[in-house]
Structures are given as C-alpha cells and as structure tokens.
Structure 1
Amino acid sequence: MPGMPQNKAKIVMQPDTGVKFSDVAGIDEAKEELTEVVDFLRAPERFVKVGAKIPKGVLLTGPPGTGKTLMAKALAGESGVPFIQASAAEFIEMFVGVGASRVRDIFKQAKEKAPCIVFIDEIDAIGRQRGAGMGGGNDEREQTLNQILTEMDGFEGNTGVIVVAATNRADVLDSALLRPGRFDRRVEVGLPDVRGREQILAVHSKNKKLADDLTLADVARRTAGMSGADLENLMNESAILTARRSKTATTMDEINDATDRIIAGLAGRALSDNASKRLIAYHEAGHALVGTLLPYHDPVNKVTLVPRGQAKGLTWFTPSEDQSLVSANSLKARIAGALGGRAAERVVFGESQVTTGAGGDLQQVERIARAMVTQLGMSDVGCMALDDGGMMGPNYSEEVSAKVDEAIRQLSDDGYKVALDIMTDYRACLDRLADELVETETISGDRLRELVAEYTTVPQKLAAV
C-alpha cells in the first residue's frame, strides 16, 4: 500500500551493546539458559549431531528492573550473530494490517541473515489473550499476534531464527504463544537473593570509591527485596551523596541515607513542636518494642523521627534472610508490630487521644490479614483461595464473606491485644526508648536491642499463636 508505514527495526550485523554476560550478575539461572542459546548459535553441529533441535523462542519473565532487557543486550553482545531489536508497541499503528506487515518484514530480514536473534521487548503489548476485546478477532493487535504465531511456527518455519521476548505480565499472554514450538524456554528472571544482590552491587560499584570498612555483604543484607535496577540506583544515589558531602569515599552512612531516600522519600525538616515530637516518639517506639520482643518478627534496623515523604517518623525492619516463604507466626507478628504504634498511643495518652498516625499501619494490617484469610488459608475460614472477582464482585457466598470479615477482624484484634500487653508489661522500657528518641532523633537497631535488654532477658512469646 502506498504510504504504508514501514518497519523501524533494523538489523545489526555485529551487535556492540557494551554488555557481556560478565556484566550481568545475580541471575545465574537465566544467564545459564541464554549462554546455552549462544552455544546453539555458535556451534549448532554439536546439538544436531545428537538429534537436538535449536529452541525457537526464549521468554524472559519477571518483575520490572530485574534485568530482562540487560540479559538481551548481553545475549546480543556475546552471540556474534545478527541481532534485531524491537519493542512490541512499535508494531501497533492506527491502520489495520501495519503491525502484521512489520512482523513479516522483521522475520524476512532475520531469515535472510540466519542464524539471527530477534528480540521483542514488552511482548504483552501485542501478545495478550485473544478473544477478550471488541474487535472480534480482526483488530490490529490480534492480527499482529497472529502473524507472530505464524512466523514462529507456521507452515514455512523459521530455521535459524531465535526469538527472545521479555515481559513482566506473562499471566496475560495468549496460550498459543507460550506453547512448545514457539517459546520453548520460559526463563524466570526474579528478584536476586542476598548473594545475587552482593554480586550486582559489585558490578555497579566498580567505578566507585568505597570506604575500607564498607562491605557489600552488609549492603546486600540491608537491601532485601530490591531489584537490580534498584541496586544500581542505590549505588548512584550513594555516590551523589558522597560528592555532596565532599567525601572521597562512600561510607555506610551514605548507603543508609540513600536507601532511606529511595524507599521512603526525601528527609524533611526535623520536628520542633515538643508535644508532637514526643507523641511520634512513643508511636515509633511502640513499633520498635513489639518488633524486638516478638521472636518471629523481622529485626529492627533503625528507628527515626526524621520525617520522610508522608511519614512523620519511621521504624525500619530488615529481614535476617530472604523470605520467599513466610510462616503464619511471622505474619501475625507483623500485624502486631504494625499495631504497636497505636497501642503505645493508647497506653500512654489514653483511648481518646490516639491519632491519625496509625492510618498507614491499619492499611498494612488489613492487607496482611486479608491475604492470610483469602489467599493463604491461614484462618478458620479454611484452606481456600478466594477470588474477589474484581468488578463482578466476589465469587463466594455472603455466608463465606461474613466469615472472611470476621477472620480478618479476629487477626487484627489478636495482634492489637499482643501489642497492648507488651506496652503495658514493658511501659518503663517504652518510656526509655521514647526519651532517647526525642533526644537523639535516631536509634540504631543495635542500640535499641541494648536498651530493651536492660529491661528483659526472656523474649516475649507471641500470644496470638
């Protein structure tokens, strides 16, 4: 068609992305899978000799920032074969048929230069489940998807062309796209564990001067749950703080301040109102005291009255290890810990003087308790996973709904009772923590545990269990 927009993706004969597999850390399993793809392309005869077929597609899935696109860049840099990169969104145009035409054009180029790699980023833009839209199967997106399906495993086939795609929404992809013969390999690029974070930090600190007493292992333990992109940003923010403070090397102070800034926002001006400062001190001391005394709670890393974002004060908890599996005891302890601030306000200032400071805590409690009841089977409602149904409403009866509400309330009430008991039993310790917070504004986790140890030698047992 005259004037039809043509494909913007160009073939790169000798990819020079500046990224090799040695530059990718923390995702060893994904790296191993793609290293195998490079071996397929470089020496296919080894695999053909034993009757193995080269995989036609590799799908990289995982949360944002975990390194999916970086892996594709490393694959291009390592493979030494022609490489085509395109974003799935580039295929979608106003004119019906343009996307399918662009797909044909890309695969035509790839077949001519085979062996060749085609990388499609954010494939969920066109690869969503068909039949759910208003187009009746004839809209532009579905035609584009149909063309990709045909090119990957159609009548002609695509010998020598490997398609690598990335998405963080694998759950919405069409089943025909995921079947063997199209995407033969599905590689999960997840959040790194503590060892992986240490490796990633080593990569991003190569050109940075670190203090002699700073160990990346300590930083890795502090940054549980962060992705590779988060860790890169952390090291950059730390370097910026180092320069701003006219230091020659980054210390743990810069790392901690950068971590706080990334998670909670910029530090605000310290409180000058003594009444408000004391109330917030008791609130944060309540969180910290419950978190320290309950055996299944994550350890306290720091308590501070320095405002960040919407929070007037913060209590940081750092998991002692990566927690892909969390016990019911730990979740109940987190509920009690989140309610420790409200419990401290009630015990110290009275029921009528509790403040809105627990608003975010109550939302956190509701999220944890609802997940325990409706998704994790950790309540009297039973071992069921209940779907809320979205816009259509819940897919369970009103009787079950009433049981769910009661179970959530019970978990919250039990956690609040545990927190109140701790505030009452250890009131002297609570007062001491609040006084020191008002004076110093920040207490480290180690200092907190020293203070608590002066008032107790036996850990409080979780009464709700």
Structure 2
Amino acid sequence: MFKPDLSKPPSYSGLLKAIRSGEVKELKLLPRSDQVLVQFKDGRESRVAVFSNDQQIIRTAEAARVPLSVSPTDPEGAGSGLLINLFLGVLLISLLVLLLRRSASVAQKALGFGRSQARLQPEGSINVRFEDVAGIDEAKAELQEVVTFLKEPERFTAVGARIPRGVLLVGPPGTGKTLLARAIAGEADVPFFSISASEFVEMFVGVGASRVRDLFRQAKAKSPCIIFIDEIDAVGRQRGAGIGGGNDEREQTLNQLLTEMDGFEDNSGVILLAATNRSDVLDSALLRPGRFDRQIMVELPDRRGREAILGVHARTRPLGDDVSLGMWARRTPGFSGADLANLINEAAILTARRERLFIDEQSMNDALERVTMGLGAKPLQDSAKKRLIAYHEVGHALLTTLLPAA
C-alpha cells in the first residue's frame, strides 16, 4: 500500500519530467479520484492530480518503461466510505428504534386512556388517626361504625345488618372532610383509593365511565377497602341539563357510578366515601338509600372544637406561656380547621422571622391581623387624608353619643 508524502507534491508537468528522467519507480492510477500515486526511486511517495482519462501520463510511463497499475478504488476513499456507510446504518437503526418506542408509548397511552387515575395508599401507609382530627366529634362518632365494620364485619352480618355502601361528607371548605376520610383509612388499616371527581371527566364520551369501572374493579380486588372521591359534585350534578340529549361525558360517568354503587353486582367490602360542599346540586338518584345511605354534616367547629383543633396543631409548635388556646378559640368565631391551621402557621413564620424560640401572644395577634385583614398598610403621610378620616370617625362618635339607642 502506498503511503503518500504530501509535504511537497510535484506538479503535473514536474511528474512528467520525473518519469522521463527515470526518477519514478512505480505509478498507480486512481481513475475514480482522478489522481495517481507516485513512488520515487529515492523512497519518496506522493499523490498527484491528473486529468480524467489522461492518456498523456500513460504514454509517458510506457515510453519510460515505468510500471503503471490501475486501482478501481482509492484505499483512503474506501475507508472513509465504509465509515460513512456505517454511520448511516447506525443512524437509521436508531431512528427505527426511536419510532418503535414512540409507537409503543402512544399505543400504551391509548390502551390506558380509560384506566382509573386513582392513587392507591396501601394498608398501613396512612398515619392519620381519629385523634388527629378535632372539633367534629359528631362526624367522628358516625364514621366509627365504618371502621368497626371494616375491622369486624362478622359483628354486623351476624344480626343481618348491612353497612352503608356510601357515606357522603357535606360541609363548608376547610372543615376536614378529606382529613376525616384519611383518618378512617388509617384507623381501619385497609387499602385506600383516593381520586378527584374531575379526573373522571374527559373530552371523549365514555372515558369517564370506563375509569369508574376500572376503579371499582381494582377496589374489589383489594376488598375490603375504601374509595374516596373528593368534590363529587363535579360528576354528580343533576342529570338532564347537559347538551346532546343527556349523552354528554359527565352524565355517562354518573350513570356508571350509580350502577357500580348499587347495580346487579355486589360490592361487598368496598365502601365509597365522598366529599362535597354543594350537596344541593347532586342528583337525587345518587343520594337515595342503597347508594349514599348516610350523609354526615361536617360543620364549622364551635368554641370547644376550635380549642381542640388549636391543640392538635400546637403539638408540633413551641407555644409561649402567655398563649391561651381557650382565649384564642373565643377570638376566632367562624374559623374552619384550615383557617386555624393557617393562623398557627403564620404565627410560627413570624416567630422564626423575629428569631424567637417560642410563639408568643404578639406573634399570634399579628398573625390574626394578617389572616383577617391582610398586610399592614403604611402610615398616612397626607395631612388632608388624616383630617378627612378624623372628621369621619368623630361623626361616628357624635352619633353614638346623641342617639342612645344606636
């Protein structure tokens, strides 16, 4: 194989002179690249460009009796061509593999489009207990029966009793409906499926019904278990108000839910819990006995309930000696459990910001003002506004003084 020295390649005319003068030992013609490999008698090797179908170089080599051979391929060109072909082959195989994977992913998504999106919490994985839920003792007492049935079903079946198939938790936002459902699952120590009702509804008709069927199929396999559907009014609204003669996706999902709760098949051991703050819009067929047999009102806590809720949230917060939970329960009428948790959390944030070790009364006061009235406003700098506000407040004081019954 020739190893050309390209440091000082001769010109075409110089190559002809070297051939005639006897300096060239051997020539190899490369027709595809229009080049000739030259081996000189002194050991030098070079590559010189020639014309296509060059007859002059052939006649000159023949006259000088210089051996001339013809190579159909360029050794260097063959190696580079092999690398290019190998690269193209690898690229093509990679594209085919990527296309097959994407097709498989799309097919898997299409097959799983009608599967339930519920999240399964295995038994023993929920740490919430009834002692972590305060201020709604009546609701806890009602739900204790559900826990007892899941733990000791034979106690009820021995006397022919049937546990309610569905329990509907009704109450304002933030009163602890979802927390109650988690406490039931934690106390009963059974699998817990949780899903939002809006996850059933899709653009395509029939997908929500398919997801309801798949959810109950999974629940039956894990029986006894609990299914919790949050904000059930998203699919449980009154039927007949849809577009398209009642064949819309939401109504199909509701029809399938009604069938699964009380149809031909028995859902023994599967208890459905649902939560809503709009029970007035639910379909009457969903609320009848045999489906949601029991409706439990989860109201805003009273004063004792608020004190108990504050005590639960204060377990993990260092309170100062000057903070009285009973007094703060009296100062927060109308607060839900979520509002009280936010109040304690805001006080803890203020305490950390002020680099103190305990939540004191001042932090609680500032947190209450921030929760109820927002951030504090800047002091007024305009004297005209101050005078206007002063006249307004003095008017209130005068009317209160002059009108004893006001």
Which position in structure 2 is the counterpart of 1:180?
Answer: 289
CA deviations 1:136-166 (Å, max 9, x no partner) are 2211000000000000001123121110001
1:305-316 pair list within 5 angstroms: none
Q: CA deviation at 1:36?
A: 1.3
The corresponding residue for 2:402 is 424
The CA distance in 2 between the partners of 1:241 and 1:82, in whole Å, is 39
SS of residue in 1 equivalent to 2:118:
coil
Corresponding residue SS for 2:275: strand
State the SS of the aligned residue for 2:195.
strand
Partner residue of 2:239?
A: 130
Equivalents in 1 of 2:365, 2:168: separation in Å? 36
CA deviation after TM superposition for structure 1 residue 179, in Å:
0.6
The one-letter code matched in structure 2 to 1:119 is F
**Distance (Å, rounded) in 2 between the aligned partners of 1:135 and 1:109:** 32
Asked if the contact 1:16/1:76 (under 8 Å) is kept, the reply is no
Cα separation, 1, equivalents of 2:388 and 2:353: 33
From 126, 132, 138, give the equivalent of 1:29.
Answer: 138
Matches within 5 A, 1:357-376: none
Partner of 1:207: 316
User: Residue in 2 aligned with 1:193?
Assistant: 302
Counterpart of 1:253, as a letter, is Q
CA–CA separation in structure 2 for the residues paired with 1:264 and 1:162: 42
SS in 2 for 1:162: strand
Report the CA distance between 1:80 and its aligned residue: 1.0
| CA apart distance, 1:56 | 0.3
Question: Gapped runs of 5+ residues in structure 2?
Answer: 1-106
1:84 aligns with 193
**Paired amino acid for 2:402:** T
Measured after TM superposition, the shift of residue 192 of structure 1 is 0.5
TM-score (norm 1): 0.61
Residues 108/255 of structure 1: CA separation in 2 closer, same or farther (3 Å cut): same
Residue 114 of structure 1 is matched in structure 2 by 223
Shift of 1:14: 1.1
Tell me, yes or no, if the aligned pair for 1:11 and 1:109 is still in contact at 8 Å.
no
**Aligned position for 2:377:** 268
Does residue 99 (structure 1) correspond to residue 208 (structure 2)? The answer is: yes
2:262 is equivalent to residue 161 of structure 1: no
Question: Of the candidates 158, 175, 178, which is equivalent to residue 66 of structure 1?
Answer: 175
Offset from partner CA, 1:49-83 (integer Å, 9 cap, x none): 22211110000011111101111111111111122
In the alignment, residue 424 of structure 1 is paired with which amino acid? L
Match 2:257 to one of 129, 148, 156: 148
| Structure 2 counterpart of 1:224 | 333
1:113 CA displacement:
2.0
Q: Number of residues paired by the alignment?
A: 297
Structure 1, residues 274-294: CA drift from partner, whole Å, max 9, x if none?
Answer: 4422432454566xxxxxxxx
> 2: CA distance between counterparts of 1:80 and 1:22?
15
Mapped to 2, the partners of 1:259 and 1:136 lie a distance apart of 51
Q: Deviation per CA, 1:431-460, whole angstroms, max 9, x where unpaired?
A: xxxxxxxxxxxxxxxxxxxxxxxxxxxxx4
Amino acid of the residue matched to residue 235 of structure 1?
I
Shift of 1:461: 3.8
- Asked if the contact 1:128/1:172 (under 8 Å) is kept, the reply is yes
Corresponding residue SS for 2:292 = coil
Using structure 2 for the length normalisation, give the TM-score. Answer: 0.70
- How do 1:220-259 residues align onto structure 2 when only pairs under 5 Å count? 220-259=329-368
CA distance in 2, matches of 1:210, 1:82: 36
What's the CA shift for 1:116? 1.4
Change (3 A) 1:38 1:274: same
Distance 1:262 1:284, change over 3 A: farther
| 9-18 vs 96-105, which moves further | 9-18
Distance 2:369 2:387 in 1: 22
CA distance in 1, matches of 2:262, 2:176: 27
Structure 1 residues 64 and 34, CA gap change in structure 2 (3 angstroms): same
- What is the match of residue 157 of structure 2? 48
Tell me by how many angstroms 1:47 deviates. Answer: 1.4
SS in 1 for 2:160: coil
1:14 aligns with 2:123: yes
Relative to structure 1, is the Cα distance of residues 116 and 284 closer, same or farther in structure 2, using a 3 angstrom cutoff? farther
> Which deviations, in whole Å up to 9, do the C-alpha atoms of 1:203-251 show, x marking residues without a partner?
1111112121210011111111111001000000011111222222222
CA deviation vs aligned residue, 1:171-213 (integer Å, no higher than 9, x gap): 1100100011000110111110010000000111111121212
Identity %: 64
Give secondary structure in 2 for the equivalent of 1:184.
strand
User: Against the structure 1 CA distance between its residues 100 and 251, is the aligned structure 2 distance closer, same or farther, given a 3 Å change threshold?
Assistant: same
Residue correspondence of structure 1 range 369-384 to structure 2 within 5 A? none
Tell me the distance in 1 between the aligned counterparts of 2:254 and 2:359: 49
SS at match of 1:111: helix
Residue by residue over 1:315-340, the C-alpha shift from the partner in whole angstroms, topping out at 9 and shown as x without a partner, is xxxxxxxxxxxxxxxxxxxxxxxxx4
Measured against aligned partners, the alpha-carbon deviations of 1:21-60 in whole angstroms (never above 9, x if no partner) come to 1111011111111121000111111112222111100000
Equivalent position amino acid for 1:258 in 2:
A
**Whole-angstrom distance in 2 between the partners of 1:285 and 1:42:** 67
User: How far apart in 1 are the matches of 2:367 and 2:387?
Assistant: 26
User: What stretches of structure 1 of length at least 5 have no aligned partner?
Assistant: 287-339, 348-419, 426-459
Q: Aligned partners of 1:247 and 1:283: how far apart in 2?
A: 40
Distance (Å, rounded) in 1 between the aligned partners of 2:374 and 2:202 = 38
Are the aligned partners of 2:242 and 2:251 in contact in 1 as well (CA < 8 Å)?
Answer: no
In structure 1, give the amino acid aligned to 2:155.
Answer: R
